Amino acid sequence: MPSMTRTAPAPWNGLYREMEDDDNQDGPERDETDAFHQLVRHLVADGDCRAAMAGRRARRTLAEMGAAR
């Protein structure tokens, strides 16, 4: 008796994969890096504010952090 089921063909994404590879070689998009830098600036400002409220100053160099020995 013949079967009515078919196997799904393997996905083919050659063109999409090539476009994605080309895009990945260009590096991060400008909006991605801008968002990252904005986040880091926010975290630095928040850390500075918290340190000031505690009567301290945020450490900025390895020597201040005690890592350079």
The values of phi and psi at residue 2, to 5°, are: -70, 145
**Predicted local distance difference test score (pLDDT) of residue 10:** 60
**Predicted local distance difference test score (pLDDT) of residue 42:** 95
- Listed by start position, the domains of the chain span 31-69
Residue with the larger pLDDT of the pair 54 and 17 = 54
CA distances from 15 to 19, 21, 23, 41, 56 (A): 6, 10, 12, 38, 56
**Predicted local distance difference test score (pLDDT) of residue 67:** 67
Residue type, 57: R
pTM of the model: 0.46
Classified as helix, coil or strand, 57 is: coil
Query: What does the alpha-carbon distance between residue 69 and residue 67 come to, in Å, rounded to a whole number?
Result: 6
Query: What does the alpha-carbon distance between residue 44 and residue 29 come to, in Å, rounded to a whole number?
Result: 23
Q: pLDDT tens digit string along 4-53? A: 666 766 666 677 778 888 888 887 777 778 888 999 999 989 988 998 89
